[in-house]
Structures are given as structure tokens and as C-alpha cells.
Amino acid sequence: MKAYTIKALHENMDALEQQEVTVEGWIRNSRAQKAFGFIDLNDGSKLSGVQIVYEKDTVDNFDAIAKVHIGAALRVNGTLIKTPSMKQPFEIKASTVEIVGPSRADYPIQPKRHSREFLRENAHLRARTNLFTAVFRVRSILTHAIHRFFQERDFMHVASPIITASDAEGAGELFKVTTLDLTEVPKDKDKTVDFRKDFFGKKANLTVSGQLQAEIFAQAFKNVYTFGPTFRAEKSHTATHASEFWMIEPEIAFADLNTDMDLAESMVKYLIDTVLKEASEEIQFFDRFVSKGLVKKLKNVVEKPFVRITHKKAVDILKAAKQDFENTPDYQDDFAKEHEKYLVSHFDAPVFVTDWPKDIKAFYMRLNDDGQTVAAMDLLVPGAGEMIGGSQREERLDVLKQRMEAMGIPEEELWWYLDLRMYGSTPHAGFGLGFDRMLMYVTGVENIRDVIPFPRTPKQCEF
């Protein structure tokens, strides 16, 4: 008999009542009495799993099942019985229980509360816990929703390269890609590394952002997006930084910063609305066990307009705050975590901060008429902090060249980027939404390491 997923059993329990069904999964918990026993079985398709009841009189391997360890894989045949008076709406009364893959007494994931750190060290097994079953299900649902959001709006998907020779952010946080023999690196006369001998004949690195390539496609298809992994060799040990993270980067031609923020706001609202509808069991779980009040908070985000204020105005608000900050807010500086926190709780909504001082932002951002600020926006949210970074792009060749020169970015490396400003340049804009931070936001999970299946951070590359 073909096995049902546990999700399918839940969806079809009326039709399957009193019917013989097969399920396959892994034991989350098991309690055996003298003549009968219970097993919580989960196959990952449904957070709440299914309860198996087995009796000495009906199964022929009762003692083996009663002794089977948590974590074992089972195939169960049995009758679906509705149990309206109990916690779970139905259970399976087993006729046969096949132990497909036994487990052992030292299985690390026992039915008790484990610390997040312990579970990270057991990332090969943590997906079999309720928390991670829920997190990774939401991650999958959101992945699909992102494509749907853009495809429904006629945005074209573009696969930006993972290996590239450019530093899209100009911040130098690059992982080198090389096949050079590191014990015998070829050197030039001036003792610098001779990258002409390397695989690509030049320096190459993992991409920090697909933006520059998305800009190329936006100048042909108008509305495009990328969705893929990006890499930053940033030595940040925080709860919101990973060395490998996923970004969604739309790019829109014939558009300014306001259009860009409108798109970002409708996308965030669409994604939250989607998880509320399609992952309600998971979101209820997070509300109960991870972040009290989450459902209310998320509904609030969908309903209320986001705040839009300039960086200057935001610093005014911080300076007027009746609170002492460890870091003094400054008109020329980026925000510290405590500032971001204050701003989002001050407005009780996600906040777009716009028009940033040019010296702390990337070379490609469009210079405002004041000559001091750029048409950039960051979206700040509770918990995840900066969830989106975006900008209108500098479409004027001369201004772009001046900015690159001032910031020490060699023109030769980005000749093609400059070409775009010569052949049909348009005002255009885009943003990058950090997918993993978005997941922190919608699940309430406090650490980015716990929303990424196999997180990569400084000194951490297991699994």
C-alpha cells in the first residue's frame, strides 16, 4: 500500500475514517505500557505529526516496538480512528509496525527541551524537532511565495552569477575563488600575487550581491529579480550576520526611490500574509513557544502603512529620545542596534530610513541634489534590524565616475557597468531583502543561525 503523508491524512481524515492506511516517519516520542503503547510519529509534512497506538494483541512484534528507540524510522499500517475528545483529531491503530531503521539509546534529540546551541551542533538531526520542522517549512513556503509575488507581477527572474570578478558593494568583504597552489603562490616582480596564472586569469570571488547583474537585465527587461545565495567574509559575530545568506534583489527601470519602497512594502506584506495563511500551524507554534504575540504583530504589519523618514529626521528623533544610548546618534553615521530598536518601537511599525549620508553608503547610489546624501533606503524591523537595503541607482555617467573615483573603485573592473550609463541609461532602483532576516522576523527566532539549514559563520563550517 502506498504511504500517505501525515499532512494528507489530516486533510482527508473524513474520507479515511475507519480505513486502513500506511504512514512512514520517524519516532519523536514513545511510551509503552504492559499491553499497549503510543508513538508520536512525524514525517515532516505536518508539524503536529500523528499518534500511533499499538496493542500486544494486534501487532506480532509488540516487545520489539516497545523497546524501539526515539529517532527510529517506521512504516505503520493501521486504521484511522477519529478521536474528537483528545488533543489530536485522530490516531492510527496499528496492525503492523515495521522497524525500517532502528535508532539507539544515545540518539541526541530526546523529547525534552534542548538548547539552541546544542541543536546547532547537531544540525544533521535538528530538523526532526518541532522548532526546526516549523522553521524550515516556513522557509520553503516563503521561497515559493517570493517567486510567485514577482512572477504574478511580470518580473523576470535572472540567475546572477555566484562566481564573479567584481565587488558589488565595494566593501572588500570577499571570499576569494582560486585554484592557485597556496603553498607556492605565483608572484609578480613587485611580489604581489600573479592572478593571471589563476583559473580565470584574474582575481575572482564569491558574489556579495547580484545587483550589478540585475541592473544589466533591468536595462533590457525593465522589471527583474534575482534570488540566490550571497557571501560575505565579514567577521561579524552577531545574531543577524551570516557568511552565506540568501538575498532577493529586484531591480526596476524607469523608477525612483519611492517606487522602490512601494515595491518593498507590498512584497513584505504579501510574504507575511502568505505565511499567516499557508503556515498558520507553524506561526501559532512560534507565537506559543518562541515569540509571544507574534500573530498579532504580523497582522498589524500587513494592515498598517510602513513609516518613511529621512536619516536626518531619524537622528533628530534619537537625539530627542528620553533614553541614554551607549552610542551617540550622529548625522554622519550608521545606526547602532540600539538606535534601530528605538526607532521601530517608537513607531511600532517597520521603518524606511531614506536619504543617507553619502560617505557611509555604496558607490552606485544616486547622489541627491544636496550633494551630501544619496537616494538610499533601509527598512528596519523589530528583531532582525536592517531587513532591506536599497537605493535609486546613479544613472548619470559623470556623477557615477566621480563617485567611483572618490571611493577608490577602479573603472577598468566595472567598464560594463559604466557602459549601461552610455547606452540608454534610465533612472532605476532596486533593493536587497535578506531572506534569512525575513525568516527571523516572521518566526520570531532570535538568531540567524537557527533559520538557515546549515549556517556558515566565522570559524563555523560544519555539515
Distance CA 354, CA 309 (A): 6
Smallest gap, in angstroms, from Cβ of residue 386 to Mg ion?
6
Smallest gap, in angstroms, from Cβ of residue 429 to ligand 4AD?
8
- What's the burial of 284, exposed, middle or buried (CB within 10 Å: 0-12/13-18/19+)? middle
DSSP SS3 for 436: helix
Query: Among ligand 4AD, Mg ion, none, what binds residue 234 when CB lies within 5 to 8 Å by partner kind?
Result: ligand 4AD
Q: Any contact of residue 385 with Mg ion (CB under 5 A)?
A: no
Site string for ligand 4AD, 5-44 (x = CB under 6 A): ----------------------------------------
Query: Among Mg ion, ligand 4AD, none, what binds residue 169 when CB lies within 5 to 8 Å by partner kind?
Result: ligand 4AD
Distance CA 156, CA 212 (A): 15
Smallest gap, in angstroms, from Cβ of residue 233 to ligand 4AD?
10
Residues 374-393 that bind ligand 4AD (CB under 6 A): 386-391
Cell numbers for 164: 564573479
Choice from 46, 139, 241, 339 touching ligand 4AD (CB under 6 A): 241
Query: Among Mg ion, ligand 4AD, none, what binds residue 211 when CB lies within 5 to 8 Å by partner kind?
Result: ligand 4AD
- Answer for the pair 97, 74: CB distance below 8 angstroms, yes or no: yes
Distance CA 200, CA 165 (A): 9
Choice from 37, 357, 383, 430 touching ligand 4AD (CB under 6 A): 430
The helix/strand count (H/E) of the chain reads as: 14, 15
Question: Candidates 69-77, 142-150, 272-280, 430-438 — which segment interacts with ligand 4AD by CB under 6 A?
Answer: 430-438
Question: Candidates 69-77, 190-198, 280-288, 388-396 — which segment interacts with Mg ion by CB under 5 A?
Answer: 388-396
Which helix (H) or strand (E) segment is 187 a member of?
A: none
Residue type, 78: G
Is the Cα torsion angle 269, 274, 276, 279 positive or negative in sign?
negative
Choice from 9, 437, 440, 450 touching ligand 4AD (CB under 6 A): 437
Cell numbers for 300: 498589524
Distance CA 121, CA 186 (A): 39
Query: Among Mg ion, ligand 4AD, none, what binds residue 249 when CB lies within 5 to 8 Å by partner kind?
Result: ligand 4AD
Comparing CB distances to ligand 4AD, the nearer of 421 and 437 is 437
- What's the burial of 77, exposed, middle or buried (CB within 10 Å: 0-12/13-18/19+)? middle
Q: Any contact of residue 389 with Mg ion (CB under 5 A)?
A: yes
- What's the burial of 211, exposed, middle or buried (CB within 10 Å: 0-12/13-18/19+)? buried
Distance CA 390, CA 360 (A): 14
Question: Candidates 94-102, 270-278, 404-412, 429-437 — which segment interacts with ligand 4AD by CB under 6 A?
Answer: 429-437
Smallest gap, in angstroms, from Cβ of residue 380 to ligand 4AD?
9
The residues, any chain, with a CB within 8 Å of residue 39's CB and separated by 6 or more, are 27, 29, 30, 51, 52, 54, 65, 74
Smallest gap, in angstroms, from Cβ of residue 392 to Mg ion?
15
Distance CA 257, CA 376 (A): 7
Site string for ligand 4AD, 334-373 (x = CB under 6 A): ----------------------------------------
Comparing CB distances to ligand 4AD, the nearer of 279 and 384 is 384
8-state DSSP, 68: P
Q: Which residues are paired to 393 by β-bridges?
A: 365
Distance CA 389, CA 437 (A): 12
The residues, any chain, with a CB within 8 Å of residue 266's CB and separated by 6 or more, are none
Smallest gap, in angstroms, from Cβ of residue 435 to Mg ion?
14
Distance CA 308, CA 321 (A): 18
Query: Among Mg ion, ligand 4AD, none, what binds residue 382 when CB lies within 5 to 8 Å by partner kind?
Result: none
Residues 132-191 that bind ligand 4AD (CB under 6 A): 168-169
Comparing CB distances to ligand 4AD, the nearer of 64 and 159 is 159
- Answer for the pair 89, 12: CB distance below 8 angstroms, yes or no: no
Residues 182-211 that bind ligand 4AD (CB under 6 A): 209, 211
Is the Cα torsion angle 196, 198, 203, 209 positive or negative in sign?
positive
Query: Among ligand 4AD, Mg ion, none, what binds residue 168 when CB lies within 5 to 8 Å by partner kind?
Result: ligand 4AD
Number of residues counted as binding Mg ion (CB under 5 A): 1
Number of residues counted as binding ligand 4AD (CB under 6 A): 24
- Answer for the pair 15, 32: CB distance below 8 angstroms, yes or no: no
Question: Candidates 190-198, 228-236, 386-394, 402-410 — which segment interacts with Mg ion by CB under 5 A?
Answer: 386-394
Smallest gap, in angstroms, from Cβ of residue 65 to ligand 4AD?
45
Distance CA 283, CA 403 (A): 45
Contacts with Mg ion by CB under 5 A lie at: 389
Contacts with ligand 4AD by CB under 6 A lie at: 168-169, 209, 211, 232, 234, 241-242, 245, 247, 249, 386-391, 430-432, 434, 436-437, 448
